[in-house]
Amino acid sequence: MIKLIDDSSIHFSLIDSNIARYNNKNYYQKVGTIKSDIKFHLKEKLNLKHEEIYLLNNSTHCLLNILYGLSVQSTSLSIQHVCYESYRFLTNKKYEKAIPLLTHIDPNSGKVCTLDDTNYVLDAAQSIGTIIHHQQAITSDLLFFPLHKHLAMQTGIGVLCIKNREKYPEISKIAKISESGTVNINIYNQLLSLLESGSYFFNAALLSLTKRHILEISSLGMKVITPAQSNTPFIVIDANVDLNEKLQRQNNIFSVKSLGSHRYRFSCYIKGHIKSTPFDCTSMLIQYLQRLL
């Protein structure tokens, strides 16, 4: 059998010869075909209307590509106070033209950013795949998100979406270069198989906090950080006590992450599709908190 790729590109022992559906193509052609198929399905399953989609390593990788591309176009990335805290330390040259960077849902508070326009760079890590906020997120001109949160598709892949290639040609150029690097073909093949086999990639759960709910949680000695009526799949709470040991108990709907200083993020997940009816888990969460104490 003739090898269509040499060991100086990628060692033959690292190539999975069992990917039968692409047997007649070399490794990089296989990857290219798989990526094209993935993009087709992502557009369809997530209702994306963007001209271009790039598959990069993670959300931060996507953002750095955007930052570089904008700089080449003499456009600044305006770091807003509502963007993800870690991104606020990014520095970029100041130009006359600027486009804001917004985080749609802050993972450390649950606060939802108001999106009045589409001309912004949107970090949609916590809104893509959610029943309430997904449709608004995908209207943005420049959008990026990972596949491992509410979509529950795959780790190690970030998606960069560009609505108008002519408006942001330099972002397209750098993203194309970034995407062309060697990747783990098995991860992409697993993602493609998942996309081809179903449509239940949305989180149908949400926490529809009212003032009454906030008072109920406050009566437990906890402070709710997430604003009322955010309708997010998680809320952030200051517990005022260490819950780490008690949180070892398993729960089929809720998962919890410690954010430090007795602050916790309680997330809920119910598998659904893009047209699923939202399922409000707020009362169940309050019962869960009561059992913890």
Which domains are seen in the chain, by residue range?
12-197 (3.40.640.10), 205-292 (no CATH)
Cα–Cα–Cα angle for 61, 66, 69, rounded to 5 degrees:
125
Tell me the pTM: 0.90
User: Concatenated DSSP letters for 133-170?
Assistant: THHHHTTSSEEEEESSSTT---SS-EEEEES-TTTSHH
Mean pLDDT of 260-289: 94
**Which residues, in sequence order, are bridge partners of residue 54?**
160
Q: Where are the alpha helices (DSSP H) in the chain?
A: 27-46, 59-72, 134-137, 169-179, 185-197, 211-218, 282-292
Query: Cβ–Cβ contacts within 10 Å for residue 87, how many?
Result: 18
What is the distance of C-alpha 193 from the center of its chain?
20
CA torsion 59-65-71-77 (nearest 10°) is -10
Cβ(93)–Cβ(67) below 8 Å = no
Question: For residue 237, what pLDDT is reported?
Answer: 96
- Check the CA dihedral 61-153-229-225 and report its sign: negative
Give which of 127, 273, 279 is closest to 205, Cα–Cα: 279
Mean pLDDT of 44-68: 96
| Residues 6+ away with beta carbon under 8 Å from 276 | 131, 202, 204
Q: What is the mean pLDDT of the chain?
A: 89
pLDDT band of residue 182 (cuts 50, 70, 90) is: confident
Mean pLDDT of 120-137: 96
Question: For residue 117, what pLDDT is reported?
Answer: 83
- pLDDT over 60 (residue 240): yes
- Helix, strand, coil percentages for the chain (3-state, nearest 5): 30, 20, 45
Cβ(163)–Cβ(51) below 8 Å = yes
Structure tokens at 161: 């979406």
Q: Write down the residue that tokens 């003032």 correspond to.
A: 211
Question: For residue 1, what pLDDT is reported?
Answer: 43
The residue among 252 and 40 whose pLDDT is bigger is: 40
